[in-house]
Amino acid sequence: MPDLIRIEHDNGVVTYQSPLLRAVGVPHGFTTRIGGVSSPPYASLNLVSLINDPEADANTRVAENFRRVRKALGCRQHIRVQVNQVHGREVWRPPSEPIRPVDAPRADAIATDRAGLLLMVRVADCVPVLLSDKNGRVVSAVHAGWRGVIAGVVASAVDALTSLSEMQPSGLVAAVGPCIQVERFEVGQEVVKAFQDAGLGHAVRQDDTWTKHHIDIQAAVIHQLDQAGVPCNQIDRTGLCTFAQADDFFSHRRDQGKTGRQAALIAIKPE
């Protein structure tokens, strides 16, 4: 499939978007660190959760960053919906009324068929996944770290969308966003074993130049989408690496935790 498309918005925000999701017509984007107002080491489009990391960045700067992203995506009037990400498999179906960030449930995916909601997950090396049916009437945003991949969050999100839309997974399209790529994702034996035990041993890589095994977590997510019934030719993906491309992306591993967050955002197709 085609790679994600880099979009430079009029207000300076830079996102990556999926050709498949653009064809459906759903507002969406994978943000970068470009186009915000935060200061180093959070420069500049930091979309961190201040509930979990209140000292990371001033609330006014993060709020302005979100304002810019919503404008870039054409979603200034949408209610932003988030979850307290815990590296699990739970999918939340939000109500139509606003939920305070402090009251956000513990989950790693969000699914909806409600207009006016902008679903969002945060990442800084983990895999962001956006899904929609081909009509743009049901959408989902997924945070897939390695523990969430093992737990089955990808299949949970597909199940949630098929339940909402009463359609088969073959009627969905997906986009897998920028994440840590295999060359940078060195892991210990406990992670290797977890992937093997989950039937994802094909995502474990070894190379003569590496001292440890590496995980191709993007390949694992694409495999799980395919196994859940989403055809491979309906999945956009990218070779962008959050670790290697420091000018474009935050990376928890590269920056040893002292870093901001990107976001993956999606809303249903406007009427």
pLDDT at 98: 81
The pLDDT confidence band at residue 2, using thresholds 50, 70 and 90, is: low
The pLDDT tens digits for 236-261 are 999 999 999 999 999 999 999 899 99
State yes or no: pLDDT of 56 exceeds 90.
no
State yes or no: pLDDT of 155 exceeds 60.
yes
> What token pair was written down for 145?
């770290």
The structure's pTM equals: 0.97
Least confident piece of the model among 52-66, 102-116, 231-245: 52-66
The pLDDT confidence band at residue 134, using thresholds 50, 70 and 90, is: very high
> What token pair was written down for 41?
């080491």
The pLDDT tens digits for 181-225 are 999 999 999 999 999 999 999 999 999 999 999 999 999 999 999
Burial of residue 64 (number of CB atoms within 10 Å: 0-12, 13-18, 19+): middle
* Percentage of residues of the chain with pLDDT beyond 90: 89
Dihedral of CA 106/111/115/118: which sign? positive
Mean of pLDDT values over 148-174? 96
Q: How far apart are the first and last CA of the chain?
A: 28
pLDDT at 112: 98
State yes or no: pLDDT of 263 exceeds 80.
yes
Mean residue pLDDT across the chain: 95
pLDDT at 7: 98
State yes or no: pLDDT of 54 exceeds 90.
no
Walk me through the domains of the chain, giving residue ranges and CATH numbers. 5-266 (3.60.140.10)
Mean of pLDDT values over 172-184? 98
The pLDDT confidence band at residue 166, using thresholds 50, 70 and 90, is: confident
State yes or no: pLDDT of 97 exceeds 90.
no
State yes or no: pLDDT of 233 exceeds 70.
yes
Burial of residue 142 (number of CB atoms within 10 Å: 0-12, 13-18, 19+): buried
pLDDT at 96: 75
Instruction: Tell me the C-alpha distance between 107 and 87, whole Å.
Output: 8
The pLDDT confidence band at residue 52, using thresholds 50, 70 and 90, is: low
Instruction: Tell me the C-alpha distance between 161 and 168, whole Å.
Output: 9
pLDDT at 57: 76
CA contacts within 13 A on the Cβ side of 78? 29
Q: What strands, in cross-sheet order, belong to the sheet with 91-92?
A: 91-92, 109-112, 139-144, 127-133, 172-176, 235-236
